[in-house]
A and B are shown apart, each in its own frame.
Chain A
Amino acid sequence: MNTNQFAMWRSSPEVRATYSQDGAVLLDVNEGLCYSLDGVAAQVWVTIEGSPAGISLEGIVDVLETHFTVSREGLESDASDCLAELQLAGLVQEKVVVER
């Protein structure tokens, strides 16, 4: 999946996260929906949640690199796919920043 490199990602309001040893559970209080995240997705979520102003794909990959010993290209691809799934579930929001 191609994620806009200028997009900033933010967690949706009213989504609560509970972490387990293998990942996390996200509870969307407004929509009444629950999701489980695997270890990578949980790390992506923590990173986004810790950046209230929003964070780029590159910023997320920078953080993932400190947790997983995998090539940057691989992490980029995974993070991009993961963001697409989180967005599809309405758990994160994308804001495209236009550079001038």
Chain B
Amino acid sequence: MSVLWTECFGRPGAGHHSVTIKHEGGGTMIHDQRFVQRLETVDSVVAVLFPQAAEVQMDWRAKKLKDFIDADPPKVRYISVGDICNELELFLSPRQARRLFKESAGISINEYARKRRLVLAAKQLQATDVPVKVIATDAGYDTQQGFARSFYDMFHLTPLEFRRMWHRSQVTA
């Protein structure tokens, strides 16, 4: 298999398996799988847009920080990195923790927490009829506008469009 071809078409961590084979000495290619795949859940959309760093490669302290954020994403908004390190008994300064997390996860701790909050909000929008204003507050946003802006940056839909889309999806199904 051509290395270049594999780099282009069969990247690891793509969330699906699009494997194309180039025969040795020829230009023929065989598509084992599809270019376009249906995503049926918010989780699957998030997994493609927001791939998680491979946990096996993560520093164990960064992993603990990540697990802390995952357990309660909005909480991180109201607690400092230093306090999280103390609570987890990591014996790291806030600066060390931030650097370690970014090196390990490839994203800053604040950005990771922000994305996790938006993912949580997306799931709420899809699964409930809770008003957007309440979801914005739950996600740690002071204003609905700020929430809508961040949400749009991530999904290219407003929160209401996102909710409507999933509701249509349920009707179609």
Contact = CB atoms under 8 A, between A and B. Distances in A.
Contacts, number: 122
Interface in B153-168: 154-157, 161, 164-168
B157 A29 contact: yes
A22 B52 CA distance: 13
Contact of A27 (B31, B36, B165): B165
B158 to A, nearest CB: 10
Most buried by B among A35, A40, A86, A88: A35
Interface residues of A, number: 40
Nearest to B38: A35
B14 interface: yes
A30 to B, nearest CB: 7
Nearest to B22: A74
A18 B37 contact: no
A56 to B, nearest CB: 19
B146 interface: no
B60 to A, nearest CB: 25
B27 A73 contact: yes
B68 interface: no
A91 B36 contact: yes
A37 B172 contact: no
Contact of B49 (A20, A33, A68): A20
B8 A34 contact: no
26 contacts: A22-B11, A23-B14, A25-B39, A25-B48, A25-B49, A27-B155, A29-B161, A29-B164, A31-B169, A32-B167, A32-B170, A32-B172, A34-B38, A34-B40, A34-B169, A35-B39, A37-B35, A37-B36, A39-B8, A44-B35, A73-B27, A74-B27, A82-B35, A85-B36, A88-B36, A91-B36
Q: What are the nearest 4 A-B pairs in CB distance?
A: A32-B168, A32-B169, A41-B35, A38-B18
Interface of A: 16-18, 20-23, 25, 27-41, 44, 67-71, 73-74, 77-78, 81-82, 85-86, 88-89, 91
Given A25-B45, A32-B170, A35-B38, 6 more contacts: A25-B39, A34-B38, A34-B165, A41-B35, A81-B35, A86-B36
Interface of B: 2, 4-5, 8-9, 11, 13-16, 18, 20, 22, 27-29, 31, 34-40, 44-45, 48-51, 154-157, 161, 164-172
